[in-house]
Amino acid sequence: MSSPDRLVSPLADSGDVAETSPALRPTRLDEFVGQAQLKARLSIAIEAAKGRTEPMEHLLLHGPPGLGKTTIAHIVAEEMGTRAYVTSGPALTKGADLVGTLTRMQPGDVLLIDEIHRLPAAVEEYIYPAMEDFKIDFTLDGGMHARVVTYRLKPFTLIGATTRAGLLTAALRSRFGIAHRLEFYSTEELGQILTRAAKQLDLQFAEDEARQLIAARSRGTPRICLRLLRRVRDFAEVRGGGPITVEAASEALALEGVDAQGLDPLDRAYIRVLADVYDNGPAGLEAIAATLGEDAGTLEDVVEPFLLQIGLLARTRQGRRLTSAITEMDGTNPAGPLFEESGPSTSDS
């Protein structure tokens, strides 16, 4: 099972219409749930910038996917009364791609570059003078006849978003005035997001426990939370014929393979392989990936972060290993009943 097929993958997919719906996306800081420290920092920065009639400082957001980086960029633009432009590092293959966007922007506009760590070096060179001096230098002709033409840009705010802050060059990182790591959301915060989404979608929870059940299985990620809500809504409409109950939510998520800890079949298969084949570890990532028949990058980027977050997995110099939390959660056997539903045994894989 590859990451795009996973219901609990934090990566965006084409089916996330609920998340990208303008009705569901908060547009103001006071509507945004969670990330209290970031909200406080942004509130001060935005108010100060508006008082000086300047664009807000360049902002670097880093952390796991699905936590609201794009939403924050739109909020900053809305609070500043300007427009947000969204692009990504892989989409900017040459300098002209970036220049075309920058020259269209009006004073105070916001440019979000997602996956900014994947910017080509040639494009990154254009960003430095644009961020510092709001200008771009073009080199025309070559050799003895080469000349540099400077194009002045309107002052703007660049928001860089990345899941791999360590891959940013020091030169690029130093040019951001504000840098902040987004944290996973608490169950209570996800419950508030569900309450707002249900109101916008005209849904009703028959019991408060139903909302809490969905929030508890959302892996601390709003994108997953809204995705699970859509699945539960569909199940409740077809099988329940009414408001969302605890029973409907539980049956819908069980049908999707999402258990009480928010683990899905790939998570459980990973744990079972590490427990059964490698005796709880330590084991190398490549070895685990080969046994599972999965890509090592997929496991590292979309499986391991949550297992590390909830304390089931540890990374050591010798490799990956399961922690004692597994036995506490599942009795004495790390590969016990909790993980039997994940599919065929490792001896068959």
Residues whose CB is less than 8 angstroms from the CB of residue 272 and which lie 6 or more positions away in sequence, other chains included: 335, 339, 342, 345, 346
Active-site residue (options: 70, 82, 245, 298): 70
Apex 79 CA angle, 75 and 83, nearest 5: 70
Active-site residue (options: 71, 163, 298, 346): 163
Contacts by 127-131, CB closer than 8 A, 24 or more apart: 127/98, 127/158, 127/172, 127/175, 128/171, 128/172, 128/175, 130/98, 130/102, 130/158, 131/58, 131/158, 131/175
Taking the mean position of all CA atoms in its chain, how far away is CA 239? Answer: 31
Using CA atoms, how far apart are residues 227 and 9, in angstroms rounded to an integer?
A: 10
User: Token pair of 80, please?
Assistant: 């500043």
DSSP labels for 176-190?
Answer: -SEEEEPPPPPHHHH
User: Token pair of 53, please?
Assistant: 């009639």
Active-site residue (options: 114, 264, 301, 330): 114
Number of H helices, E strands in the chain: 15, 9
Number of neighbouring beta carbons within 10 Å of residue 283: 19
Apex 120 CA angle, 76 and 164, nearest 5: 60
94 catalytic? Reply is no
223 catalytic? Reply is yes
Active-site residue (options: 6, 69, 219, 320): 69
245 catalytic? Reply is no
114 catalytic? Reply is yes
163 catalytic? Reply is yes
Using CA atoms, how far apart are residues 248 and 246, in angstroms rounded to an integer?
A: 6
Taking the mean position of all CA atoms in its chain, how far away is CA 319? Answer: 26
For residues 326 and 338, the answer to whether their CB atoms sit within 8 Å is no
Active-site residue (options: 217, 219, 223, 227): 223
- Catalytic positions, please? 69-70, 114, 163, 223
